[in-house]
Chain A
């Protein structure tokens, strides 16, 4: 590793005139991001990649105990669940999506909580809005319009989501098109085969090109962890993507057989921690796929708080890729308020 001096990161030479190294978050960014320094990118450090050691069984034990070691009750649970809403990338990524479907999703994003619940919680002053709305490129414009005035960014999945195997140029153009349509966040997918063949240089180069194509838009690197075979691969791919300039690393497209899991999350967030120790740069984390219960969301939040600190539980550093999660959170909030169990059909549909 040759990047250990936090004050003097060696930025990757940006393409296309993007100047990420000093790009401190703009005022329009969500809460808590002031002073956040965007990942400038670093040279590929294969020595560092070679030092990565991950013990799967140990990850599973730690992940398996987090829900038992940490729990929040009563008002604490309510507050944490409200926070969880702000961490959701409210998502629809189906082949049968239509503008109407996306508009409905955006309407829910504007009002993620039933007004009576907001009032009874007494949190009308808090900004309880999802972290972003996440759609296919085709619906970026629809979403941007539907969210106008809310400050909620639109995220687009890109680069031939979910497989990532279209020609590179096609993928780069797709990013540019989404950014042009108003996407402020781009969720790219990596080529899983590059990880399986340990082609770290190839992965790094592609990731860097994606980052450059994003320009000001923040980039989340979807690893497709369910297809990377080992947690060691997950950790190494995480590191390579961070070195190449990822703002976030994200588990899954939601289309793999196995999506976000707590052990995989540990493999990734420990790399985020290490990257931060070495470079001083904070990278965000986004588990996606299969997170549909409030309890699961709280487990993830506890894991983040334990491994990375409370600081990382802010939308610029942590997101859930989810849709039905929001409804379950609403139900749990209502239950917390009333003491009786809630039904999903009484919550406005996502």
Chain B
């Protein structure tokens, strides 16, 4: 029987190889050795390391392992280029981005093949997903460049951005970083991952070809130490990192107190929820895209299947059946579903995790059939008999491994979905729009896909909650991560407190105070609570006279306050109108007691307090007004779907108020935090806390629900630290010295809470233009993008 007749009978697929010829020719033309791209010039290859094809193990090329001198030169080039680049009109910058987009498209296949050879991902994916999304990202941001002045008035670029990207989507992650940075007027020093630097180097050639001014984009290749040199570099203004949560935490700690902008896009263990009323076959196919896309090496991979118990057996049978037809093999074959993992170390890591999982009792299903004997290949795997306590459920595997659990009710689905330290993405399958749209806002994740998965677009923000990081990439929200208010540059040093810290007053005999008619306790969970310490601290006026005593809060009081704030998070889902009404009522009641509050300010500061009370009332009004107006957007991805960019509160927000304004300092921060739906643990001015403690009664008479505002007086620094370390606190605003800022930022790595700190600078909260609007609103919220494809 001839071969055709045999195939006629078997109807096998056979090989469908994509040629590597052009990519090899490109590598050969460079002698298979690359230097860095700095200031528009190529350095000679030095201290090289090999980059290999994970599907075959063959060495593709040598790349240079950048040292701190290389980084210095790259940063200097970027610094020199920043002035002229940022001074270009948006239109001119846009033209360069447009030219990059065109060039990427023109050389799309070379990029795709090179990406597949270097990374191991199927050519189908690099060709149909990665590279088209790269071009789209540059086109989209070419469009942004001339619109920035209009869309972000009063904002300027950061300056030099250090960007460190991972190996799973090498060129796409470069595009996500470089395109918005350049559009906004920044210059960049980018380090690609050491496993996958080749397309970044090809990209550098593109920059050269289109005549991008030298120094605007600098590519320094290398390993972790090269990245560390970028992170630590004093002349870099912003760090953008995509990679593991572990490294993200190191970067957060390393940049603490430096004043560098920071955005982190980290790991995930994203839930994939299938309700019994879903299109089950489509949900199975969605899983293929969720967990077997890019060999599962996707930060937002839908790796935790949560399936309703009523359909669990049926659904898992469908999944197993589908797995059997997945084709694992040569990633340059056009008809391969699963290619090679990026490196042997990853294969080992996954095998090791799987062993541990099996030892715990996990049951692993892998379909029959062979995979290539050599190269970094793994079969797709479905893991059952696991629970949230299993290592395979809690750890990000970053491979083609799906873990499956069941749930009974929508509530349980949400609880299981959120039962993770990560919060990058989530997927919900249901044909019931009421159910799907009920679940989506309750998932703590930056991206929620309804009836679909792993959809990306330049117009739609992507990024995480919780330990999946902060900052967004894509959309207006992504661009804003590369811009900051112009006025921030000119901030002077904050005046020292108007009197010396009270801590010293405690050295005096604590009992040596005048008889008091009132003792302020702490305010926790809607009740006045005695401080755990059992101590009080005196509050003195400007002349040193003791005005009263407040509780000496400690870490246990903070703990209790955070518990109360967490329990009160229904505040965030209350209608914005209702929150506004309460803030208005608060303002009204404050106004009613204006004279008393003014007198208290005067007693504490010696200043006439009426103006500050008035400003505080105005600020409450302003943010009550904002409550139902600072809302989201509907993005326009190029498909039949809406992507609803929903504005959500951070959750529990710690606020360490400035010393300078006894009342306004607390109210100006409470108002935006509350308006956006956060619950708050407030540490008021250490020196002048009595205006905040006077608020207890106003809060109580204003129908503020218990636990929404909690106030703990005491030593601000100690409580800032406890708040920064607390894993139940989602965000922290801390006024204080540069040293305090460094401390809280460093302490925040436990759960990677979003931290804003004043770093000793003079933020004049009385300035309405700066502080009565989106400056705080943006920092009180995060954007969740909910993708909703539609079609009858």
Residues of A within 8 A of B (CB): 53-62, 65, 68-76, 78-80, 82-83, 121-123, 125-126, 229-232, 270, 273, 301, 305-306, 310, 313
Contact = CB atoms under 8 A, between A and B. Distances in A.
30 contacts: A53-B278, A53-B279, A54-B282, A55-B278, A55-B282, A58-B283, A58-B286, A58-B451, A68-B128, A72-B16, A72-B335, A75-B14, A76-B13, A76-B16, A79-B4, A79-B7, A79-B8, A79-B11, A82-B4, A82-B8, A83-B8, A121-B4, A122-B4, A123-B5, A125-B5, A232-B792, A273-B281, A305-B11, A310-B11, A313-B11
Interface string B220-243: 000000000000000000000000
Given A69-B124, A72-B14, A53 B4 contact: no
A131 to B, nearest CB: 15
Contacts of A229: 792
Contact of B282 (A59, A65, A273): A59
Contact of B791 (A57, A65, A310): A57
Nearest to B451: A55
B11 A58 contact: no
Contacts of A313: 11
Given A60-B791, A70-B13, A83-B11, 15 more contacts: A57-B452, A57-B640, A58-B451, A65-B128, A68-B124, A70-B335, A72-B13, A78-B7, A80-B11, A82-B4, A122-B4, A123-B2, A273-B281, A306-B325, A310-B11
A71 B16 contact: yes
A60 B4 CA distance: 33
A298 to B, nearest CB: 11
Contacts of B21: none
A73 B15 contact: yes
A314 B613 CA distance: 84
Contact of A75 (B7, B431, B451, B790): B7
B687 to A, nearest CB: 59
B748 to A, nearest CB: 39
Contacts of A273: 281
A122 B5 contact: yes
A230 B337 CA distance: 30
A71 B4 contact: no
B337 A69 contact: yes
Given A305-B11, A310-B11, A61 B337 contact: no
Contacts of B14: 72-76
Contact of B285 (A58, A73, A82, A123): A58
A283 B694 CA distance: 78
B489 to A, nearest CB: 46
Given A68-B124, A73-B15, A53 B280 contact: yes
Interface string B270-289: 00000001111111011001
Contacts of A62: 282, 285
Nearest to B12: A76
B83 interface: no
Q: Which of B11, B17, B128, B286 has the most CB of A within 10 A?
A: B11
B581 to A, nearest CB: 39
A123 B9 CA distance: 12
B279 A58 contact: yes
Q: Which of A68, A230, A301 has the most CB of B within 10 A?
A: A68
A179 B12 CA distance: 37
Interface in B1-55: 2-8, 10-17
Given A73-B15, A230-B792, A54 B335 contact: no
B452 A58 contact: yes
Contact of A123 (B8, B15, B128): B8
Interface string B609-646: 00000000000000000000000000000001100000
A232 B792 CA distance: 8
A83 B283 CA distance: 31
B7 A80 contact: yes
A78 B14 CA distance: 11
Where chain A touches its partner, the secondary structure class is helix
B431 A53 contact: yes
A270 B790 contact: no
Contacts of A125: 5
Interface residues of B, number: 41
A270 B281 contact: yes
Contacts of A57: 451-452, 640-641, 789-791
B334 interface: yes
A306 B15 CA distance: 17
B159 to A, nearest CB: 41
B254 to A, nearest CB: 41
Given A123-B2, A125-B5, A55 B11 contact: no
Given A75-B3, A79-B8, A58 B282 contact: yes
B287 to A, nearest CB: 11
A55 B641 CA distance: 13
B16 A73 contact: yes
Given A57-B641, A58-B285, A123 B4 contact: yes
Pairs A-B, 7 closest by C-beta atoms? A76-B14, A58-B282, A79-B7, A57-B789, A56-B791, A55-B279, A53-B279
B406 to A, nearest CB: 19
A224 B452 CA distance: 28
A79 B6 CA distance: 8
Nearest to A83: B8
A126 B282 CA distance: 38
Interface in B275-312: 277-283, 285-286, 289
Contacts of A73: 14-17
Contacts of B790: 57
Contacts of A121: 4
Contacts of B792: 56, 229-232
Contacts of B127: 68
A65 B2 CA distance: 32
B317 to A, nearest CB: 9
A131 B396 CA distance: 51
Contacts of B334: 68, 71
A229 B4 CA distance: 42
Q: Which of A65, A79, A125, A270 has the most CB of B within 10 A?
A: A79
A125 B14 CA distance: 22
A73 to B, nearest CB: 5
Contacts of A78: 4, 7
A60 to B, nearest CB: 7
Q: Which of A58, A69, A123 has the most CB of B within 10 A?
A: A58
A74 B451 CA distance: 37
B642 to A, nearest CB: 12
Q: Which of A55, A56, A75 has the most CB of B within 10 A?
A: A55
Contacts of A82: 4, 8
Contacts of A270: 281
Contacts of B280: 53
B660 to A, nearest CB: 54
Q: Which of A73, A230, A313 has the most CB of B within 10 A?
A: A73
Contacts of B124: 68-69
Contact of A122 (B2, B17, B281, B285): B2
Nearest to A266: B281
Nearest to B122: A69
A69 B279 CA distance: 22
A266 to B, nearest CB: 8
A69 B790 CA distance: 24
A62 B335 CA distance: 15
A125 B7 CA distance: 14
Contacts of A74: 14
Contacts of B277: 53
A305 B324 CA distance: 12
B441 to A, nearest CB: 21
Contacts of A301: 11
